[in-house]
Structure 1
Amino acid sequence: MGIFGALTTAVGGLRAGSYALENISGNIANSQTTAFKRIDTSFLDLVPQTALTAQLAGGVTAQSRSTNTVQGDVQSASVATFMAINGNGFFAVQKPGSFSDGSPVFDGVDRYTRRGDFQLNKDGYLVNGAGYYLEGVPIDPTTGNPSGSSPQVLRFKNDFLPAQQTTKIDYRANLASYPLTTKHDTSVPGSELIRPGSFSSGYNPLVLGTPAAPYTDSSTTGTVQNNKATPSVPNTGNTALSGVAGSDSINANFVAGDTITVNGTVLTFVASGATGNQLNVTDDISTLLQKIDSITGTGTASSISGGSITLHSGTSADLSITSSNSTAFAALGFAGGKATATRGGGGTVGTGQVIGNDNSAFLDQSVSGGAVTAYDVSGAPVNLQFRWAKTDSSSLGAGHTDTWNLFYQVNPNATGTQVGWQNVNINFTFGSNGQMSPPIASVTLNNAVVNGVSLGSPVINFGSGGVTQFADANGNVQVNQIQQDGFPAGQLQSVSVSTNGRIVGNYTNGRNIDLAEISVATFNGTNFLKRIDGGAFEATDESGAALFGKAGTIVGSSLESSNTDIADEFTKLIVTQQAYSANTKVITTTNSMVQDLLNVMR
């Protein structure tokens, strides 16, 4: 090759340097381009075929080296539809070949890009800053799964989301083992329970078909009271109802004309000679208790022990005693001039319903179980309220189990015999461990109609251990979850990107529905993709076909930066400039040598 070969080699060096400089220039120019992948330059030596003892350094050529697998930094963005891929993969996109009546006509050729600055245009397409349209797979709204596997250009119009009727309600709650109802009295066993006997005849709210419970005796006990004796000692059955200081008589005297009314029957105090429903002011406590028991008909005699009187209701009626002399009656241990005891049991066969006339009694004997807005088939909302009533308690002894009934409100404005609340007609029983025994996973509200709105037959799902019975200081039902699946109709107002790589539609009814799954492609030969304008690529024989399902994760509201490092590019720029200058020096030197050769010939 000789001297002229050196000249040719130097020119090749200049060409290679120019090629490298062009790549460096392009990288720097695109340092702020979203998801741009820089192009590095590879230099290859060109060695001519010579004898082993005459080998030459040879010339040089330059080739590009892709960095498609090198990720740029992922930075957050304020636009909900912007997205970045963390890891391997490319967004599948298409670009319109033309437009017809303002609508894009796609050429059907898939391209691939890391540029994720997609925004919704006026036609409902997600288009990035380079004009590429995002592809994905639509989501089946019924199953929530992708409908197919072939990517297609996604379009989201201002779709109308039809209403969905409530079909299930997920419910989790803890029922206080001792509910603090309005009528509870911790001194009276069973007072926290619902009392069917206090409801209108023929309207027992317990589970449909529950046998009528026989009436049972109840009692009330007064406070300990002392007499006027010196020293003062607790009252006994012999303690008189009136007397002078120092005598065995109650602390405040009854006088002639005072009355005690027992269940509507009036006992009148007289000075002496009492007959019928009269009492002598000098009678003792035992005589008074016998008179009361004769009126109530109780089978368990009222008594006094340690200065404290216990009165029994019997089974004929609830006990209600008042006195015109509240001070003297208080000296018997009953403040306010009255004493009451509500008999247990009673009522008719369970009908599972609460009528308007019994609404107040029901509210007093039950506790709130939460509320949820449910929807009918047309999307009309209705407030579905629940209440729990305890119907039996293990604290009452053998033969009793902690049992609850669940009710839902049918008509908030019920009056007379109109049904206000409906029992779900299942007994929820609990063991000593606070768990349902047997467990009840769900209950169906058959043909539920609430405030005139038909809800069909929604299912209340309790799941495993969803309803428990543990002590609660407030005596309330602690509702941990009450969520239903219905919703009214709505209009699509915006879209966003979820962390699982799906496009989510945000509707005016507050629903967020998965609309499509973003298609992300990978390649076996990623660095052999063909670059085209706008940060996009086309598949080649060397890259292989697009593969779906093994890509990195999509990060919503984010963008990938260019992977160009300006500091590195400046360093390469300096090295390239020096190499270029050196090649020009070779040309200058070669030219000088040729001139010397020509001078010899002269």
Structure 2
Amino acid sequence: MSLTSSLYAGASGLVANAASMAAISDNIANTNTTAYKRNQINFSSMVSAQLVQGRYSASGVEAITRSFVSNQGSIQGATNPTDLAIGGAGFFVVTDKATAVTEQDPRFFTRSGSFNVDADGFLKNDAGFYLQGWLADEDGNISPDPSDLNQMNTINIKNIGAQVQPSTEVIINANLDKRGVTGSVGPAGYNAATTASMADYAVNPTTGTKPDFAFTMNIVDSSGGIRRIAMAFLQDTTANTWFAEIYAVPDSDVVGGVRPGQIASGLVRFNPDGSFDQANTTLFGAPGNDPNFAIAASSAAVGVRFAPALGIEAADIDLDLRNFTQFSALSVVNSLNPDGATVGNVIGVEVTEDGKVSALLDNGLVRLVAQIGLATFPNPDELAAVSGNAYSQSSRSGEYSIKQPKLGGAGLIESSALEASNVDLGTEFTSLIVTQRAYSASSKIIVTADQMLEELINIKR
């Protein structure tokens, strides 16, 4: 009968409003949860078939949960460079374990980017999920495969170990005094191939020929060690011409040269305007050769090479002499800028907008580690929520698509930032009052229907 149905309608109202209260409570409790997405209970009427004309049977109300997963929260600044926010529709791909992740292990999706480097070097968020990405190979190359989640691995910052970058170039800004050291004539007795060389003078000043000007530069070898290389100059009687040698300091670092420690010898010439004349310079081999000197590996059998005891690889150094001049001013080195880096260890992390994760080393190097991949869904509001403010794919959410950040609507990644909860407290407190009143009204339906049934029962008396 319709009176009994009103009891059930009131009961359904209690259940629906209790569910609404639970959703509101969750929303309020997670106001400060990173990237939390609010839930809302919507009400839908239920109608039963009216079998007897003129009689109405109440069917009550049904509670339907709606998740606002696709509604992005505001982006707020953070101090940790591994705090990451997504400006777009993507989700971080995460797992609940760091290593030995197999195809059978579940992947979860989250926008909670509060990642930190744990004790083992893995990027792990506050909920205990590990960030996945495409790892770089030893040469720093990344091959993203958006079609297969199993090609992604847990990102580790510390397992790259110490890094070394051997020197390959030295930029020299220097001047040789065109007036000469004393204004005298040329270098009597100088011979680069005998004990009269400038390399010999560097070993023993009682022998060899003293240069008019010399300077040393530090290069980094293949093992991260520092090797000192000198360039020495002696002015010739021919205008704009200098005898020059390149040699190792100490001389024992290099073997196989014409003289101890000697790497190269020849002439350095300048144009009348004081600029470097590469076309007529023979220090680097044939006239016109690029300014470059090479030292073979310690294992080499012939030629100028590193001493066998050093056990290091070959060095090939380009000299940038565009700012090497000959003016009537004191001989001086204004600057020496060699590249290369000695042994370095990880001291920080850098994440770019396109998701590239790099390790910052204390020797100044930046080593590319991985690239983050972002997942998108046709209907993200239907993802299945799991503990830890994450989601799993459901039949109603549609299949995931893995994309590189900044491509295909996945969005860009903001480092040192976090997405705030999309909960509005004003809305929630208003809904709290409305829900409370609705719950009271539903309970009143039950009380009133019960009184009416009591009256009906009392008719028999």
**TM over 0.5: same fold?**
yes
Specify which of 460, 466, 469 is matched with residue 318 of structure 2: 460
Please give the secondary structure, in 1, of the residue aligned with 2:341.
coil
Q: How far did 1:73 drift? A: 3.7
For the 8 Å contact 2:186–2:235, the answer to whether it is kept is no
Partner of 1:36: 36
For the 8 Å contact 2:356–2:371, the answer to whether it is kept is yes
Q: How far did 1:68 drift? A: 1.5
Q: How far did 1:523 drift? A: 1.8
In structure 2, relative to structure 1, the CA distance for the partners of 1:22 and 1:391 (3 Å cut) is farther
Letter paired with 1:498: V
Specify which of 203, 207, 212 is matched with residue 361 of structure 1: 212
Q: How far did 1:526 drift? A: 1.4
Letter paired with 1:199: P
Q: How does 1:532-571 map to 2 (within 5 A)?
A: 532-547=386-401, 548-549=403-404, 550=407, 551-571=410-430
Task: Give per-residue Cα distances to partners, 1:43-90, cap 9 Å, x unaligned.
Answer: 222244569x98999632111111222233444444444333333322
Alignment coverage as a number of residue pairs: 414
Task: Give per-residue Cα distances to partners, 1:168-226, cap 9 Å, x unaligned.
Answer: 216385x7xxx5x5x56xxxxxx379999522445489xxxxxxxxxxxxxxxxxxxxx
In structure 2, relative to structure 1, the CA distance for the partners of 1:570 and 1:428 (3 Å cut) is farther
For the 8 Å contact 1:193–1:389, the answer to whether it is kept is no
Partner of 2:6: 6
Specify which of 225, 242, 245 is matched with residue 380 of structure 1: 225
Q: How far did 1:583 drift? A: 2.1
Partner of 1:92: 93
Please give the secondary structure, in 2, of the residue aligned with 1:575.
helix
Specify which of 132, 136, 141 is matched with residue 139 of structure 1: 136
Q: How far did 1:528 drift? A: 1.5
Task: Give per-residue Cα distances to partners, 1:212-249, cap 9 Å, x unaligned.
Answer: xxxxxxxxxxxxxxxxxxxxxxxxxxxxxxxxxxxxxx
Letter paired with 1:577: Q
2 CA distance for matches of 1:70 and 1:404? Answer: 73
For the 8 Å contact 2:123–2:156, the answer to whether it is kept is yes
2 CA distance for matches of 1:21 and 1:586? Answer: 19
Partner of 2:148: none
In structure 2, relative to structure 1, the CA distance for the partners of 1:504 and 1:30 (3 Å cut) is same
Partner of 1:410: 247
Letter paired with 1:456: A
Partner of 1:198: 186
Q: How does 1:327-406 map to 2 (within 5 A)?
A: 356=201, 357-362=208-213, 373-384=218-229
Specify which of 421, 424, 437 is matched with residue 578 of structure 1: 437
1 CA distance for matches of 2:218 and 2:58? Answer: 84
Q: How far did 1:23 drift? A: 0.4
2 CA distance for matches of 1:489 and 1:2? Answer: 84
Partner of 2:22: 22
TM superposition score normalised by structure 2: 0.71
Q: How far did 1:121 drift? A: 3.2
For the 8 Å contact 2:383–2:392, the answer to whether it is kept is yes
Partner of 2:285: none
For the 8 Å contact 1:503–1:517, the answer to whether it is kept is yes
Specify which of 512, 522, 533 is matched with residue 376 of structure 2: 522
Partner of 1:60: 61
Letter paired with 1:376: D
Q: How far did 1:392 drift? A: 12
Q: How far did 1:6 drift? A: 3.4
2 CA distance for matches of 1:109 and 1:473? Answer: 72
Q: How does 1:417-436 map to 2 (within 5 A)?
A: none
Please give the secondary structure, in 2, of the residue aligned with 1:446.
strand
1 CA distance for matches of 2:397 and 2:234? Answer: 70
For the 8 Å contact 2:350–2:358, the answer to whether it is kept is yes
In structure 2, relative to structure 1, the CA distance for the partners of 1:406 and 1:513 (3 Å cut) is farther
Partner of 1:496: 349
Task: Give per-residue Cα distances to partners, 1:6-65, cap 9 Å, x unaligned.
Answer: 3332322222111110001111222232322221222222244569x9899963211111
Q: How does 1:317-328 map to 2 (within 5 A)?
A: none
For the 8 Å contact 2:219–2:338, the answer to whether it is kept is no
Q: How far did 1:108 drift? A: 2.0
Letter paired with 2:88: G
Please give the secondary structure, in 1, of the residue aligned with 2:294.
coil
For the 8 Å contact 1:93–1:110, the answer to whether it is kept is yes
Partner of 2:118: 121
Compare 450-459 and 70-79 and name the one that shifted more.
450-459
Matched, 1:445 2:293: yes
In structure 2, relative to structure 1, the CA distance for the partners of 1:360 and 1:427 (3 Å cut) is closer
For the 8 Å contact 2:229–2:248, the answer to whether it is kept is no
Letter paired with 2:213: F
Please give the secondary structure, in 2, of the residue aligned with 1:482.
strand
Name the Cα RMSD after superposition: 4.7
In structure 2, relative to structure 1, the CA distance for the partners of 1:157 and 1:455 (3 Å cut) is closer
Partner of 1:482: 337
1 CA distance for matches of 2:397 and 2:13? Answer: 30
Task: Give per-residue Cα distances to partners, 1:450-503, cap 9 Å, x unaligned.
Answer: 99788835242759xx65989999997765x8342x33344x445524224333
Q: How far did 1:134 drift? A: 2.0
1 CA distance for matches of 2:107 and 2:295? Answer: 52
In structure 2, relative to structure 1, the CA distance for the partners of 1:157 and 1:360 (3 Å cut) is closer
For the 8 Å contact 2:270–2:276, the answer to whether it is kept is no
Q: How far did 1:444 drift? A: 2.4
In structure 2, relative to structure 1, the CA distance for the partners of 1:110 and 1:204 (3 Å cut) is same
1 CA distance for matches of 2:246 and 2:363? Answer: 25
* Structure 2 unaligned residues grouped into runs of 5+: 146-150, 202-207, 252-258, 280-287, 297-303
In structure 2, relative to structure 1, the CA distance for the partners of 1:494 and 1:198 (3 Å cut) is same
1 CA distance for matches of 2:163 and 2:357? Answer: 19
Please give the secondary structure, in 2, of the residue aligned with 1:160.
coil
Please give the secondary structure, in 2, of the residue aligned with 1:16.
helix
Please give the secondary structure, in 1, of the residue aligned with 2:448.
helix
Letter paired with 1:375: V
Letter paired with 2:387: D
Please give the secondary structure, in 1, of the residue aligned with 2:434.
helix
* Structure 1 unaligned residues grouped into runs of 5+: 98-102, 185-190, 206-350, 394-399
Asked which structure has the greater CA Rg, the reply is 1
2 CA distance for matches of 1:128 and 1:16? Answer: 35
Q: How does 1:167-186 map to 2 (within 5 A)?
A: 168-169=168-169, 171=171
In structure 2, relative to structure 1, the CA distance for the partners of 1:388 and 1:530 (3 Å cut) is farther
Q: How does 1:236-275 map to 2 (within 5 A)?
A: none
2 CA distance for matches of 1:59 and 1:392? Answer: 111
For the 8 Å contact 2:250–2:261, the answer to whether it is kept is no
Letter paired with 1:519: G
Please give the secondary structure, in 1, of the residue aligned with 2:291.
strand
